[in-house]
Amino acid sequence: MKGAVYYSKSEALRNHLFIDDLMKEARRIDIDLQLIIGDEQPDADVDFILFRDRNPSLATKFESEGFNLVNRAEVNRIAHDKLKSFEFATLLGVAAVPTKKIQRTNQIDIYPCVLKTVDGHGGQEVVLCTSITQAEAFFAQFHDHTIIVQPYIESGARDIRVFMIGEEIVGAVKRTGNGTFKSNYTLGGSVDQYTLANWQQQEAKRIAKALKSDYIGIDFILLPDGRWLFNEIEDPVGARSLYTTHDFSVAGKLMGYIKGKLAE
């Protein structure tokens, strides 16, 4: 079996350890895995492209050329747009953080609120606003982006990320922010392994099944009373927190899943 893994130039540098693990695990199960970066093109005879970028247009281009993408372009399109992700979860009956698109600061109903660009990631392009002055500064900075507003929800800066390979939960972590309302591990937050209740497992599986995804992270804000609210879908999802809290190779599980799926 022959495959390719695609990264942008900047993300290839940042994720070199995961790329190395992907290559090692691919060799272990006899997959010839090619790394393609930036403008490079995959060999025409690859059986799949593991698409590790936030670029729905490029994903769609690869699919139009006949390549089999992991994840498919539609997953990237929905995950790359926080408003579309919210609408998707809501249609499935999953409780989600109320989210709406706004074009002006006078459309904000209440402070404090959280403003985000729809396509930001990693805790970037997100700000907690307590006044219209802060909101106007955010709009000025990101005037060329689509902006959404969410109510500020007290969670102790905690959220849960559920890692899905196909319809299987391979792990979950609780992330806690450090001196900020953002819980992202890459921004200095702490991370712990998290055991999901049965109802939480069912909600995560419902999303992955409907999305027909191969490998994603699903983020939920953890409320003080034990409930949670869907917040975002990550594609591509980073695995640093999973490697930190679990004792298996995420790359190994992913390569095994791809080989099994294509053999069906």
pLDDT at position 188 is: 61
C-beta of residue 248 within 8 angstroms of C-beta of residue 242: no
Task: Measure Cα distances from 15 to 9, 21, 165, 220 in Å.
Answer: 10, 10, 19, 24
Range of the domain at 18: 2-75
Identify whether residues 139 and 10 lie together within a single domain: no
pTM for the complete prediction? Answer: 0.92
Identify whether residues 65 and 90 lie together within a single domain: no
C-beta of residue 169 within 8 angstroms of C-beta of residue 120: no
Degrees (nearest 5) of the Cα angle 109, 150, 212? Answer: 145
Q: Phi first, then psi: give them for residue 128, nearest 5 degrees.
A: -90, 120
- Token pair for residue 122? 């990693």
Identify whether residues 86 and 206 lie together within a single domain: yes
Identify whether residues 131 and 49 lie together within a single domain: no
Please indicate, yes or no, if residue 88 is contained in any of the structural domains: yes
Identify whether residues 89 and 211 lie together within a single domain: yes
Final residue of a structural domain among 42, 75, 108: 75
pLDDT at position 190 is: 87
pLDDT at position 264 is: 83
pLDDT in tens, the chain (264 residues): 999 999 999 999 999 999 999 999 999 999 999 999 999 999 999 999 999 999 999 999 999 999 999 999 999 999 999 999 999 999 999 999 999 999 999 999 999 999 999 998 877 889 999 999 999 999 999 999 999 999 999 888 899 999 999 999 999 999 998 755 554 545 567 899 999 999 999 999 999 999 999 999 999 999 999 999 999 999 999 999 999 999 999 999 999 999 999 998
Domain count for the chain, please give it: 3
Contacts of 212 (CB under 8 A, 6+ apart): 72, 74, 75
Q: Return d(Cα 152, Cα 160) in angstroms, integer.
A: 17
User: Tokens 């990550």 appear where?
Assistant: 234
Beta-ladder partners of 117: 147
Identify whether residues 162 and 85 lie together within a single domain: yes
Identify whether residues 135 and 191 lie together within a single domain: no
Identify whether residues 133 and 54 lie together within a single domain: no
Degrees (nearest 5) of the Cα angle 93, 96, 99? Answer: 120
Please indicate, yes or no, if residue 130 is contained in any of the structural domains: yes
Identify whether residues 89 and 210 lie together within a single domain: yes
Please indicate, yes or no, if residue 47 is contained in any of the structural domains: yes
